């Protein structure tokens, strides 16, 4: 989980930068570029979190022979990720 935390720290810094840009005289396109970069970085965090979920929670269910629960957990996680799109 260390890597997503570092990414979130960087994202937080970028968000502060965009807030400064909005209060300054930055052009709209520059702000949009930065906002898009923030969104892309958050998507990468979500991917890492989903991978971690599959490697732990879902894999544990499979190791225990509970494929129904593994599928339920995977479907639930995918639903959460896709719902946010």
Our count of domains for the chain comes to 1
Residue 18 above 80 pLDDT? yes
Q: Is the pLDDT of residue 85 over 80?
A: no
- The 10s digit of each residue's pLDDT in 20-48 is 999 998 999 999 999 999 999 999 999 99
Cβ distance 37 to 14 under 8 Å?
yes
Q: Distance (Å, rounded) from C-alpha 25 to C-alpha 51? A: 40
For residue 29, the enclosing domain spans: 2-83
Q: What tokens were used for 78?
A: 């995918």
CA end-to-end distance (rounded Å), the chain: 23
CA 46, 27, 22, 18 torsion-angle sign: positive
| CATH (domain of 8) | 1.20.58.1000
pTM, full prediction: 0.81
């Amino acid at each position: 989980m260390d890597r997503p935390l570092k990414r979130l720290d960087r994202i937080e810094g970028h968000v502060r930068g965009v807030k400064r840009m909005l209060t300054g005289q930055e052009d709209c396109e520059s702000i949009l570029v930065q906002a898009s970069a923030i969104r892309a970085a958050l998507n990468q965090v979500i991917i890492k979190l989903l991978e971690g979920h599959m490697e732990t929670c879902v894999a544990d269910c499979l190791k225990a022979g509970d494929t129904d629960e593994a599928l339920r957990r995977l479907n639930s996680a995918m639903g959460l990720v896709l719902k946010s799109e």
